[in-house]
Amino acid sequence: MQYQGVLKKMPTENQNTVQYYLDMSSDFLNMNQLLNREMSLSFVTYECLNCHLEKKIYRQGFCKSCFFETPTAGDWIMRPELSKAHLGEEDRDLEYEKKVQLQPHIVYLANSSNVKVGVTRKQQVPTRWIDQGAHEAIEIVEVPNRYLAGITEVALKEHVADKTNWRTMLKNEVKDENLVEWRERLQEFIPDEAKEYYLASNTETNIQFPVEKYPKKPKSLNLEKEESYTGKLVGIKGQYLIFEDETVFNVRANEGLVVRIELH
Ligand SMILES: [Zn+2]
């Protein structure tokens, strides 16, 4: 069997074990069913996720011009505290920014390699946590817009990490933390504007990833450079495919690459 399509972040479903899907234009693959299968991945070309032209990908699946122009790649995406739609101020496209920013957002703690703080739209819970490979996570505040979530994250970053270590996450060298205690400890550092939105009663969400064998020394596959790779899939965690020889492939970081997948 052979499939070809442009890579996009794998959609997921949080069942007992996370279910992963890969959209290969004419086929929608359930990746869990491919565990223990040998497969080849080949780089074909590029396709920008915004303009769909065959242009080299710059960041986040976009070619360079789209990255600097499309409203879906504004600075406020990565830095929510820069959001301005609540003031009626435009960054790139006010209508789009109102639609995305002026909706409930969650500031959360997630533990993938260590406890970190993050921001997501409420409708992206628990998808965002799955994408990060977090085995546990909890909400801290639910605020009505992205700006309030952003300033809360900035304030909490003074007291908790905001980055994770992907190698530690993939090696599964993780420990269970009591995230309710973490949340209670951090409560006093929530900025005044967001204090009323504190969530005092949510419990941890636990996530199980479909991994049969964790790599001891994960090696990241650069498909653009190597052009093709063959290996046996033994797990999926976060947005990483994990192969038996400890090669790992970050699907999200390769968005916009057109690839061919061949099952053996
Ligand atoms: Zn483009």
Same domain, 171 and 201: yes
CA 60 / ligand 1 centre spacing (Å): 11
In whole numbers, what is the pLDDT of the chain averaged over residues?
A: 97
Instruction: For residues 97 and 162, state if they share a domain.
Output: yes
For the residues 35-60, what does the mean pLDDT come to?
Answer: 97
Whole domain around residue 175: which residue ranges? 74-206
CA 209–ligand 1 middle distance (angstroms): 33
Both 184 and 251 in a single domain?
no
Asked if residue 25 has pLDDT above 90, the reply is no
Specify whether 105 is located in the same domain as 221. no
**Among residues 206, 226, 254, which one ends one of the domains?**
206
Structurally, the chain folds into a number of domains equal to 2
pLDDT higher than threshold 90 for residue 141:
yes
Percent of the chain with pLDDT over 90: 98
Q: Count the alpha carbons within 13 Å of 209 in the hemisphere toward its beta carbon.
A: 27
Q: Return the DSSP state at 15.
A: S
pLDDT of residue 11: 97
Pairing of strands 136-143, 12-14: unpaired
DSSP β-bridge partners for residue 261: 3, 41
Nearest to 234 by CA among 19, 41, 40, 35: 35
For residue 26, pLDDT beyond 90: no
| C-alpha 206 to ligand 1 mean position (Å) | 37
Shared domain check, 190 and 236: no
What tens digit of pLDDT does each residue of 212-254 get? 999 999 999 999 999 999 999 999 999 999 999 999 999 999 9
Rounded-to-10 torsion of CA 87, 92, 98, 104: -90
- 206, 225, 255 - which closes a domain: 206
Query: What is the reported pTM?
Result: 0.95
